[in-house]
Every structure is written in structure tokens, then in C-alpha cells.
Structure 1
Amino acid sequence: MFAKTIHHKTMIKFSKFRLAGTFLLVLSQLLQSPNSKAQDFSFVISTKNPASHYINVEMQVKDLKAGIIDFKIPVWTPGYYQFLNFHENVENLSIEDDKGNVLEYAKSQPNAWRIKTKAKASYKIRYDIKTVRPFVATPYVDTARAYLSPPGVFLHVAGMLNKPVEVRIVPWGSWNRVSTGLDSVVGKSFTYRADNFDVLYDSPILIGNLEEIPPFEVDGKPHRFIGYKLGEFDRPALMNDLKKIVQTSADLIGDVPYKHYTFIPIGPGGGGIEHLNSTTISFSGGALNNPKSRLGIMNFIAHEYFHHYNVKRIRPIELGPFDYDKGSKTKMLWVSEGLSVYYEYLVVRRAGLSTDEQLIESLHDNIL
């Protein structure tokens, strides 16, 4: 009896110990969740005078080790395979340590600003981005909206692309909405996070008095359409067609590999760029009222959407990890672009948004 009693008490103590251990493990995971963890890198984005076409940036970096530190900005943006030399638009850069000392720096290469330190410290970097033209691959701001093409806005520290990042937007005037594929930070308005700089650089941000059309879901995942100057058209009809495109693409590949997706129409113009869980598209909604131009828009959006499969996840080996200093060159864009062109027409046809004759005609016009 005594032995059995001791065993019973021992089991009770063990169960309590195991329960306490489980509680502490869960608590530690909650405390280190992405939305509560302090970020090593953070940015505040504002525009004091949008009519001047300048974006104002404040970057904070915590606890960098002593030595040589290079603050760098990419020379290109993934999805647009040309050098854009974003460093040429960085002005009024200053670097301050956590004691308030303004530090001297030197250019170590055209897109890098170098400091040399003797002790571990945190830093605040302030600079302005001069914007030149509204375009899907470059940042732009005016009194109507701000568009952030992240490689043209955000500095990183050399060798630390894998660090998590937090971005807080300070909307100008009456601006009330942000359109982006980044995750929101719970409890912080206009604040977003990225697991690393590769994610940040692949997540454009549009800010302004934007319009959001009610979203749809595919595979339980929300798909949003939030943009600038959308125009006059049948909004529910557009979202119904986009849902068909997304569903058809998902059925074709067999997966929806993101938590949420955002279509970011940046206004009238030309061009679009694919991203991991978003796409920026030039968009004039009035063109949807004409059957021929509507089909062209559906093909265009299907193309950019399908790229999140073909080029973002099914890709030439050169397109990741990216080289933000020299560009990532590949001879396989004919596959990345060519197959996406083919599948844009096929997806639109299988979605019931075109006929066999229109598919053949689209292919014919593209080839010739």
C-alpha cells in the first residue's frame, strides 16, 4: 500500500510539473509571436510636403556590433529586370547613434553609406527619397497618394537581410487607407511587418484616400482589391471575375501558397509587377465597360497573378536569393514570362471569361 501511495503521489507531482512546463512553453511562444516581438529594424515613413515629391524616412537599428557597417539600398527591384539606381534619389542622409552623436560616413560603393564604430550601439538614420514619376517599379508621391516601391525606399544593413522589419506609415492629411501585401501589426494602426528584407522588398505599399472593393475568398484566404482612382465600372462583376481567375489558377496548380493576397491598382498608366502575395497594376476601371478592353484587362491581371506561381515559386535558380547590388541575371525569362503569357489566356478561358476563338486570337496577336 505504501509503495502504491508513493507512486500515486509521484505521478501527481509529475503531471503538475508537465502541465506547468507546457504552460511556460506556450507562454514563451506567445511572447515571441511576430506581432509582439521587438523588431531589430524599424522604419517610419511620412511625407511632410507631398507636392515636393519627397518621401521622408526614419530608420532605427538596434544593437549593431562594433566595426564596419554599410547601410545599403538596392539598385533594382525584383520583377523589373533593369537597373534603376535608387541610390541616386537618396538625399539629406544623416546617421545618429543612441547617444545623440551625429556620425560621419563615406560612400563605400554607389549604393552604400559606411560608418566605422568602436562599440556596440543603436542607430537612427534619416533621409529623403526624391520621387520622379508614377510607375509600378519606382516610388512616387504627390498630394493624391504615395506609392512605395520598397527597394527604392528602404535601406538595409549589409549582411543582415534576414532580420525582421517593422514599418509604420504616417498618412498625410486626410489619407485614410493603405494597400499592401504585408501583415498588419495587431494593435498598431498603419503599422506592418515583414519576416525579413526579401519579403519587405517584395511588398509594395500604396497610401492615400483609396477605395477598397469588398473582398472574396478562395480556399478560405481573403483576396483584396484596394487602389487609387479606380474609375466607373461594375465592381461586383470585377470581383466575381477575379475570383474565377484565382480559383481556376489554384485548381490548375493545386495550391494557394499565401495567407492573403492584395491586388494594388495604382491608377491609370501602363504595366504591372508581380509579388509574393500581391501585384501592382496600372488600372483604369472605365475600360472594363468595353468588352474587348475588358478581356485585355482580364488577361493582364491573370498574367500578373499567375506570376506568383511561375517566377515567384517556380523560378530560375538565379531569381533568389536576390543580389540587390548587382542584379540577378538569368537567361530563363523566356520561360518565366512565356509560360505566364500562355497560362494567362488559358486561365481566362477555363474561367469562362473568353471563348476558344478569343484565346486563339490572343495567342496569335501576341506571337505576331
Structure 2
Amino acid sequence: MATTQNETQENGMNGNPLPASKLQQEPLKNSGSIDHLKYVDVTPIIGREYPTAKIKDILAAPNSDQQLRDLAITICERGVVFFRAPQDDLTVEEQKHVTYMLGKLTGRPEGHGLHVHPLDNDPNNLAMADGTRDPNIYVINSEAMKKLYKTAKRPPLDQPRDLSREWHSDSCYENCPSDFSFLRMQDTPPSGGDTLWCSGYELYDRMSPSFRGYLETLTATCSQYELYKSACEVGGYEVISPRGSPLNKDFEFSPSHPVVRTHPVTGWKSVFAGAGLHVTRINGVTSYEDTMIRDYVMRLITRNHDGVARMHWTRQSCAIWHNACTLHAATPDTHLVDDGLRVGVRATGIGEVPYLDPASKGRREALGLPLY
């Protein structure tokens, strides 16, 4: 059984009581091994782009593990990093290796690895470009996803679409959600199809101290039970189990996660289960309060676009992000252009049970930055 949030806070990561002033897990420090790579920060708050770096060179370096560890810490601090130069020399096995090692080198729990999509048995899942399939690679295809999620409820076609429903953190419907996600875009439309990431750190910091303190007392149910159950029943296949962790099994798709969580690598607080596609209910409040809280968090995303990084995809460019401190949203506008096919391959790791450490701080407070 997964450790509860309160048990983790009271007993610490190893079961021993912890003083409130000491972090359960000390933040990791960057050694500077990738400081030689040219980069530009997408915004002062979130995102970093490496315009010329090749991931293959990091893997070939004599200190490859050190560079991957520093890359992982950078991702955790910046939320998301982009590799703009075409990474067409990177194999799928290398993409999986990078995703696995980013988590392993930064404290991913033993026995946790790469996620397998719950509907991997669905015949509508596409093969990769070479015609093969891999359980740890999810092929994102704008047309195939319509078939894969054919049992999902869809908004009326005669109404403008509410694109706020696209925001989410990967697999937070699992008992142990995703840590690092690594997406490489193989085919891109002539325009559109951008992906946006927002900083969960900044969402936390944009709230008043009293309001964020209240949200720290809350958990939220994150569920995709009905979707995956109906898809398996209609398709006549079994759900994948386990999925990157022994705790992610069967149809356990309705966990409760903290609305505010502590990032295990940086030690910073981040809004996690406060809004988004997979968040179905703020627990312990009335229906009106549930709607009000989730609408407020979503308004923070749309109102503060300085906390958002946008990626306009080019062929074989890559994005790697950490799901504990970001939400992201794909822009579903490729149907408006000719030849609007958008295809990418994604590998995703599985991290720990989310927790809130009472000794952790917000990003701005930890870095000594202005409150607003």
C-alpha cells in the first residue's frame, strides 16, 4: 500500500520522525558539467533551450552520468528544457536510456522505471517509424489519438473549444505519477501544434501566503478510471499492469494527491493537483468550493503568461520536462492546416508517491527573489 501524505510528513522518507525545520530530502546541487553547452533561458521563470547541443554527445562523454545528472537538476529547476538542433542520430533505446537515467541519478525509488501506457494493448496504438512497437514508448499521433480515446466524452461540436482542459501533468492518475518525460517530434505540421508548459513553482508563488497555506491542507482525486475501463471493455483487451512501478497496477486510476507538493530534487513547493485534465475533484470541500479552487488555479495559469514557456516544434527537436513542477498543454490546432500530421515519440519515467514536506519552501523564497 502506498504511504499516505500524512505518514510521509510525520515519519519521513525512512520512517523516522523528522524535525519540521529539516527537509526530508536535501536538494541536489549542480556540478557545472554542462555549463559549456550554449543555452538561452526561454523566460526568466521557466524553460531553457539548447540551440546546438546534441544529446548523443552527452551520452558519449567520459563523464556522461555526471552530465545527465546535471541535466536532470537543470530540468527540475527550469521545469522544461528544449533541444532545438535535430536529434535524428538518437536511437529509441538511447531516448529510453536518457529518460531512465535522469530519474535514477536523482533519486527515483528503487523498482521504479519507465511508464507503460495503460492502453498499450489497444490496436489503435501506432508503431514507430521503423514499424516496431515498444511498451515504454508512446507514439503521439494527432489522428491515431482520436481512435485510441474514442470512448472519451467530447465537448459539443457547435461550441467554441475550451483549451484549458488540455493542461495536465503526465499520468497523475497513477498512484506514482511521472517524473521525467522526454518527447521527440518526428513529424511536424507546417504551422500549429505547439506545446506550452507552465511553472507549478510560480503558480504557488503567485498566491497569497494565507491562501497557499490553505491549499497545502488539501488533496485532490486524480482519475481516469472510467476512460480506461470503457476503452478496455469496448476494445476487448486487458489493461497494462504494472506500469513502471509495482504501485501502478490494475484499474487503480483514482489516487488522491496533494494539491501542493514538494519537488524531491529542488525542495521547492509546486502546485500539482490543483487543476488540469486528470484532476476530477478537490477532496473534502463542497462542489462549489471544488469548482472555485480549480477555476482559480486555472486562472493563475492563463493570467500569468510570464510563467509559461512555449515550444514551436521543428523536426527532430526534443523537450524534456519534470511533471512534479510543470503542467503542459498541446495546442490542438493542426486540423486547421493542410498536412497537419503531428507525430512524436515519448518516453516517461515513474517517480515517487507525491508528498508535501512541511519544511520545504517556495522557489522565490528559496532563491531570495522578490515576492512578485
Bigger CA radius of gyration:
1
Higher relative contact order (CA 8 A, sep 6+): 2
TM-score, normalised via structure 1 length? 0.27
More strand by share: 1
TM-score, normalised via structure 2 length? 0.26
